[in-house]
Amino acid sequence: MIEVKLDIKAIPVPLRYQPIYKIIILLAILRYGTSRPYNSTFLKLHLYMWALRSEENYEILLSVKQKKRDTIVPWIFEPSLDKIVTLAVINGLCKREILSNELQIQIVDSGLELLTKIEQMNLFNEDIGKIKQIGIIPQTSISKANSNWEIF
């Protein structure tokens, strides 16, 4: 008989792929990428998450915000967003609501408190700064840019 032994070793997971990072980014998008009451559609959340994947994506979305361009390259959804929103809802940081016949994600007071504490500790400054730089993009601008996809 063959004896098999497994030696399980911890594998470090980069911060960008850890749930807490994604939740903090979600909270920052809801806080700085939307107007009060800090709620957003999944489409807008996906777009901001896409923008944070690379500097090139970030520059494209920033150009849309600054009205330097009115088109956007084909972009992809964030595969883990639904799970991240679910974790945020379970932990009382966000809530889901149907507003104007659309599912919206809204940050709640405990989510705002957590984000404030994270910022006071100077954590995730670079990514939160990028979200602040992009700021609020009206849904009409996003819809217009999405309707004019360009490869280059």
Average pLDDT, the chain: 87
Q: List, for residues 63-90, the tens digit of each pLDDT value.
A: 988 888 877 877 888 888 999 999 999 9
- State how beta strands 39-41 and 94-99 pair: unpaired
Domains and CATH numbers, the chain: 17-147 (1.10.10.10)
Rounded mean pLDDT of 111-122?
Answer: 95
Own/partner pairs for 91-98, CB < 8 Å, 24+ apart? 91/23, 93/23, 93/27, 94/26, 94/27, 94/30, 97/39
> pLDDT at residue 95 above 80?
yes
> pLDDT at residue 32 above 90?
yes
Range with lowest mean pLDDT among 44-48, 78-82, 130-134, 145-149: 145-149
The pLDDT confidence band at residue 112, using thresholds 50, 70 and 90, is: very high
Q: What is the percentage of the chain residues whose pLDDT exceeds 70?
A: 95
pTM (2 d.p.): 0.85
Q: List, for residues 3-28, the tens digit of each pLDDT value.
A: 777 777 777 877 777 889 999 999 99
Angstrom distance (rounded) from CA 66 to CA 133: 10
